[in-house]
Amino acid sequence: MKYDLIIIGGGPAGLTAAIYAARYKLKILLITKILGGIALTAHKICNFPTYQDVSGLKLMKQMEDHVKNLKVPIINDEVIKISKGFKLKTKNKTYEAKKIILALGTERRKLNLLNENKFLGHGISYCATCDAMFYKNKDVAVIGGSNSALTAALLLAEYANQVYIIYRKDHFFRADPAWVEQVEKNKKIKTIFNEQVTELKGEKFLEGVKLKNQELKVQGLFIEIGSIPDTKLSSQLNIKTDSKSYIITDKQQRTSIEGVYAAGDITNNSLKQIITACGQGAIAAYTSYQELNLSNKS
């Protein structure tokens, strides 16, 4: 079977694209490794309209239910290769499409320190929402200075005895003032500016971290230093990207390759938020629908 449209990625952009494409009555398929994407791990979202605050888990579950209610077929798999004619090979099967939307999102950036992989799941985590409850009455640290780092620290403070935020700058310049205010008021959170982790200490489990000018005894380290675009498929198609490997799109979410659109955090948009990912997903679906209609009439 050849699909009108295959959406690769199941985060906010991919799910919204699926909702719009389904209502356009296109023959579509959504392929994703994880339904909900990285948004699933957000502790608290306070800037999505209709909610004062909502967990990423709840919001993404509602989007997932919306897609399933429209009877969109969802394949939990990973696309590993795209060839000419838009033949998509996953780990288990091959699919074919007339159009493709890439909504692959981003991957967590790592520290690239010795023993980082060794301590993964043994003191190191990239998801406070997933692992905060395992650090009740323990001392932990968060690396980073963005909204994700501050909200991770606030969540950890609900469980941990002491939470350190380690940030290489001299102030929080990327985080929203509302989150900064909450962090500053929380007595369990201590911020250490102008520092960075240089060494991970411990045997089987993380026992502490060495900074440039001091050492901290912590049992948990949560890494929130941003993310990088997933470029495995865009590079196969030779899609044009910017200097940071984000896919360049026009206002209709078209990429440099005809028939391929991109939406969400994988694109070079300046505001990487759930709401903008949803908007781009909707536009990508609409553009693909229009162009499919034109090709069918010609």
- Check 46, 53, 65, 130 and give the catalytic one: 130
Q: By the 8 A CB rule, do 154 and 187 touch?
A: no
The 3-state DSSP class for residue 130 equals helix
φ and ψ at 161, to 5 degrees? -80, -45
Determine the distance from the C-alpha atom of residue 270 to the mean position of all C-alpha atoms in its chain, rounded to a whole number: 15
- Check 4, 131, 230, 265 and give the catalytic one: 131
The 3-state DSSP class for residue 213 equals coil
**Of 155, 152, 132, 130, which is closest to residue 143 (Cα–Cα)?**
152
Residue 130: active-site member? yes
Determine the distance from the C-alpha atom of residue 23 to the mean position of all C-alpha atoms in its chain, rounded to a whole number: 26
Residues 6+ apart with CB under 8 A from 291: 99, 259
Residue 131: active-site member? yes
Angle ∠(15,7,107) on CA atoms, nearest 5: 75
Residue 278: active-site member? no
Determine the distance from the C-alpha atom of residue 66 to the mean position of all C-alpha atoms in its chain, rounded to a whole number: 20
- Check 77, 127, 139, 176 and give the catalytic one: 127
Write out the catalytic residue numbers. 127, 130-131
